Structure 1
Amino acid sequence: MLRLACLALCLATPVAAADLPPPLDPHDFPRHPAAEVKLGQLLFYDPILSGSRTVSCATCHHPRFATGDGVSLGIGDGGTGLGPDRVADPDNPPEQRIPRNAPGLFNLGHPGVTVLFHDGRIEVDETRPGGLRTPLGQDMVAGFDSLLSAQTMFPVLSPDEMAGHYAENDVAQLVRQGRLTGPDGAWETIAARVAGIPEYAALFAEAYPEIAAGQPIGFTDISDAIAAFMSFEWRATNSAFDAALRGEAPLTGAAAEGMELFYGDAGCADCHAGPLMTDNAFHAMGAPQIGPGKAARFESHQQDTGRMRVTGAVDDAYAFRTPMLRNVTRTGPWGHAGAHSDLRAFLRDHADPATALDRYDDAPTLPRLENIAPDDWALDTPAERAAIAAAARPGRPLDAKDLDALLAFLESLTDPASLTGRLGIPEHVPSGLAIER
């Protein structure tokens, strides 16, 4: 029946029915008990999970900024404030910006999402214990309910994001020592913090029968609850495009023209495929590199070779994960490093990647941060610019009319209910720590 609706839609536009994806079905998302979702909401906004107790998941993924942080590269531990107003804490300044742009959280709970992070360093792999491949390798603990659950807990191990640096707190010390998992590791240290708060202990017992029966609160329980909340809160299945796919109301005007381009000559759907609008794969798109890059502290470069850092394969150099596109007009800045603050400029460059760096004229949104490496290292290093350009896949230029149409189509991917969220920001969290609003 739904495909018949799509056929009716396609009679209203020149797009062939076979080129369009099936509708994104809300029933395909996992269902979670209300008690688990509510618990996850509190944990998501609670700074108790960070080493210094000052950073929550919401610091970099806030509904005010469409589940991002509104900047190209954010400031995690060592910052104060929210979004573009976040600045360095003079008593505990960060060592560098977070190396990659904070992605939006829409539809991450869908089972069709098989890779996460810009470089895909965590992904579904049924050959591994627990069914996941992660940077922890054989040290990765089992028991995570989903890929999203496992992903949510890696930021707490990052010195730049949530853990803090060196010896400034107990979690940072454990991370520095490489003690991440196990009874005395960073994850269980955070779990013990949470379990020691009576209100959380009661909420976990309500959400999980095994904890009510006496099983201690573990780190996977924390991450499972946060993932349940994220999947529920930011499910985006009711945009104008989704309504069109269901046959409720066809797209018209510039949005329809943009859809024809997207699924036709512009080739966008080659990568942004299927109901989720991603192929879960990695492509080199000539995106400008700004900021510290992904380098060890002892390295002097500021490269970010993307997927190649995970696989070691030269063919993966400068390739990054294809993002999903629901609410994309709200989730800027755009690109793995957030180098584009203007979506139109991003589309122009993204459509013709091999020559994108030669056209790059956007201004990244970067809060001021003193005493760090220059943000434009890669742009000012001819060899690095050439390497990024050489790896980029071919494309085709878009004229002004094409860009107008594509922007109109991308606007049709906006789902207002998911932007608002279903539960919103809690009034308080059990730790009593301040909530970012």
Structure 2
Amino acid sequence: MLVAENSCQLVSLYQRYSSPKGFGGLRNPLPDARSGFSPQEIDLGRYLFFDPLLSGDKKTSCAHCHHPDYGYADGRGMAMGFGGTGVGIDRAGGTEINRAAPTLWNVGFLRRYFWDWRATTLEAQAEGPLYSDVEMGNTPAQLEADINANEDYRRLFARAFGLTDDQSVEEGHIIRALVAFETSLVSLNSRYDRYAHGDHSALTAQEQAGHSIFRSFVARCSQCHTPPLFSNGELAVIGAPEPEGKAFDTGADAIFPGMKLTGAFKVPTLRNISRTAPYMHSGGLASLQDVVTFYNDERGHSLPEDVDAVIHWHIADPNLRKEEELALIAFLHTLEDETTAPVVPSSVPSGLPVVPVAATTLPKSKNK
């Protein structure tokens, strides 16, 4: 909603609810979202997000690793950054990063970023890939120079930020525009949401059964994947497997040593989870069925024997029957919602190629 002073504000039924924090019920309130950006800032950020001009080699845009066809993730177990060409599993020739690219849906509600919690603002999150040698390989000076050399971008920045002809576009303007766009990626209108707001016909009997399993004390999914964001934003050690041949990733322990966080990673959102396979921090699980099987197995079964990790107390073997597993997977598919997905620009001010997007064939998880 556009309010006074040309500012966009989120309006949602969830803002009317007042359940206690961490409650796993249907009508849980939303945390505060980053907001207050103008439509001009958001739209400018959209062009920047899809423009390879932001990378050092002018080949990689933000959208190459946070792609609309893959739920604003990238369809890979481990992302591929600097020097790469193509998207998804077909991306090749670049530097492989040792973790997956997380989805950006609902990122404006979060307070910690990256799998290991190392960033505390969306600004820091945006800067990380831009200036990483293995991701986009740019520098602040080069970024400013490229933007200021482009007449179309200067015009767009002048409109968004009120810059005069003798004022240069600065790094802070660029980062703010990117952040503005990222906060516009809101997914809160799935079939589950209609069910939560009172339309009990929105879910099938199987999906409703899956929801009951999801929030049960036996499965405990909702204890960490708390609605309505389906993430509590915390760190958790679950002992997820690494892909074959990949060394064990110590996760947040490198950022917070001595706090028993060996193998800890941020709890990801389950919104649009059917779009973002493969799963976990490095794509160790290929399908939603693999994920459910992992959680249904013995606690800590995928950890290397020489790793001393404190598994989260919610991780237990719930011994779900096959029909319960299928019901749970069916429920996860009810979290699909891309109704507010932005229009991918057909061209960008730099004139560089925009990442290809399949308009009608969005990929989904291998298992429904």
2:101 is equivalent to residue 148 of structure 1? no
Residue pair 2:261, 2:309 contacting (<8 A) in 1 also: no
Q: Any stretches of 5+ residues in structure 1 without a counterpart? A: 7-17, 89-93, 124-146, 164-170, 172-185, 294-301, 358-383
Deviation at 1:307, TM superposition (A): 0.9
From 75, 84, 89, give the equivalent of 2:89.
Answer: 84
Structure 2 matches for 1:267-346, cutoff 5 A? 267-290=220-243, 302-346=247-291
Match of 1:377 in 2: none
Distance 1:405 1:390 in 2: 31
CA RMSD in angstroms comes to 2.6
Query: 1:289–1:303: 8 Å Cα contact kept in structure 2?
Result: yes
Q: Which residue of 1 is the match for residue 119 of structure 2? A: 122
Q: Is the Cα contact below 8 Å between 1:99 and 1:291 reproduced in 2?
A: no
Q: Give the deviation of 1:389 after TM superposition.
A: 7.6
- The answer to whether structure 1 residue 254 and structure 2 residue 206 are counterparts is yes
Q: CA deviation at 1:230?
A: 2.0
Q: Counterpart of 1:395? A: 316
Deviation at residue 433 of structure 1 after TM alignment: 1.1
Counterpart position of 1:236? 187
- Is 1:222 the equivalent of 2:141? no
Deviation, 1:151, is 0.8
Post-superposition offset of 1:316: 0.5
Structure-2 change in CA distance of 1:432 and 1:104 (3 Å):
same
How many matched pairs? 334
Task: Answer whether contact 2:235 2:264 (CA < 8 A) is retained.
Answer: yes
> Per the alignment, do residues 29 and 239 of structure 1 end up closer, same or farther by CA in structure 2, a change over 3 Å counting?
farther
Q: How far apart are the structure 1 equivalents of 2:33 and 2:60?
A: 32
AA aligned opposite 1:395: A
More helix by share: 1
**Structure 1 length as normaliser, TM-score?**
0.71
Query: What CA deviation, in whole Å up to 9, does each residue of 1:9-43 have, x standing for no partner?
Result: xxxxxxxxx64043566995624322111111110
For the residues of structure 1 that align with 2:293 and 2:241, how far apart are their CA atoms? 13
Task: Give the Å deviation of 1:388.
Answer: 4.8
Aligned to 1:407: 329
The answer to whether the aligner puts 1:160 opposite 2:144 as a matched pair is: no
The share of aligned pairs that are identical, in percent, is 32
Residues 114/45 of structure 1: CA separation in 2 closer, same or farther (3 Å cut): same
Contact 2:24 2:226 in 1 (8 A): no
TM-score normalised according to structure 2 size: 0.83
The structure whose RCO (Cα within 8 Å, separation 6+) is larger is 1
Contact 2:30/2:229 (8 A) holds in 1: no
Cα offsets for 1:78-124 (capped at 9, x unmatched): 22111111121xxxxx4x511101111110112xx11110000012x
What CA distance in whole angstroms lies between the structure 1 residues aligned with 2:239 and 2:176? Answer: 36
**Deviations for 1:279-305, whole angstroms, at most 9, x for unmatched residues?**
221111111123897xxxxxxxx4410
SS of 2:265's partner is strand
Match of 2:359?
none
Structure with larger Rg: 1
Contact 1:348–1:398 (8 Å) recurs in 2: no
| Aligned-partner Cα distance in 1 for 2:275–2:244 | 22
Which residue of 134, 140, 155 maps to 1:187? Answer: 140
Q: 1:326 to 1:280 in 2, by over 3 A?
A: same
> Which amino acid in 2 is paired with 1:402?
E
Do the aligned residues in 2 keep the contact of 1:32 with 1:228 (CA within 8 Å)?
yes
Contact 2:262 2:308 in 1 (8 A): no
Q: Distance in 2 between matches of 1:229 and 1:57?
A: 12
| CA distance 1:42–1:416, change in 2 (3 Å) | closer
